[in-house]
Amino acid sequence: MAEGDSVVGPDIRVRLDGNASNKDIGALKAWLERERPLEELVRDGRLRILERPRSDGPPGHMGAGMEILLVLIGAGAQALAGELLTQTRRAVEAWLENHRRVEPGHAPEARVDPVHRDEE
């Protein structure tokens, strides 16, 4: 692989921006853990959903200081990566729609992206 080429791994990163808080990150993580088929993958030990500090925030960055990382585990993880990305995007959109209905103010902005191994 040439220098600068990035390898997409089976991991997915979810970031909330705008007026998002760390409370929103926790609520979204709980939502993802209950969404099928993500819930089934977690229960089977094939997926871990983690909160971790964001690495992209400049000093004084406002908003959520955490992000969510979905990590596929075991054989076949790479094969499931594309489907996991699609399912995660759908689940985040459903959470945002629910957030708009039940929370006052503007909903956070969400980004769901595959993790490139050279970013870690």
For β-strands 47-53 and 8-17, DSSP reports them as unpaired
Q: Give the pLDDT band of residue 2 (cuts 50, 70, 90).
A: very low
**What digits encode the pLDDT tens for the residues 90-99?**
999 999 999 9
pLDDT at 12: 94
- pTM above the 0.75 mark? yes
Sign of the alpha-carbon dihedral angle for 44, 75, 86, 93:
positive
Strands annotated E in 1-120: 8-17, 47-53, 66-72, 109-116
